[in-house]
Amino acid sequence: MEAAEILVSALIVIGALFILVGSYGLLKLDSPMSRLHAPTKSGTLGVGSTLAASMVYAFVWGVGSVHELLIMAFLFVTAPVSAMFIAKVAIHRRRVAVEPPSPPEDSTWATKAAPVAEENA
């Protein structure tokens, strides 16, 4: 049991350090893109480590639980997607001297809607 206690404690401390670094980066970095990088990477690793500690604890001291795997899977899928959308907003809000090119006719993945031609009825 002593090795499991050390493992759980180490995973919690590692997770807390990653979350602390991500929070600090979110507050102290200046540009939106670098500010976005800190919490998405280190926050995900910190929460993953904390959930791993919870899994080890559940398997050693009680009934095993795999709910944490579902939480980790959801987190590892949603964090990059939300970061991508936040990055797109930061790119579009950036002030540039030159107008960006028109989006392609295919609007499946366009981030800026193309003007719709009005039909004469």
Number of residues assigned to the chain: 121
Q: How far apart are CA 106 and CA 44, in angstroms?
A: 34
pLDDT tens for the 121 residues of the chain, in order: 799 899 999 999 999 999 999 888 888 888 777 778 777 888 888 999 999 999 999 888 888 778 888 998 888 888 888 888 878 877 777 755 466 666 666 656 555 555 555 555 4
pLDDT at 8: 93
Give exposure, 87-110, as e/b (b: 16+ Cβ within 10 Å).
eeeeeeeeeeeeeeeeeeeeeeee
Longest dimension (CA), the chain: 79
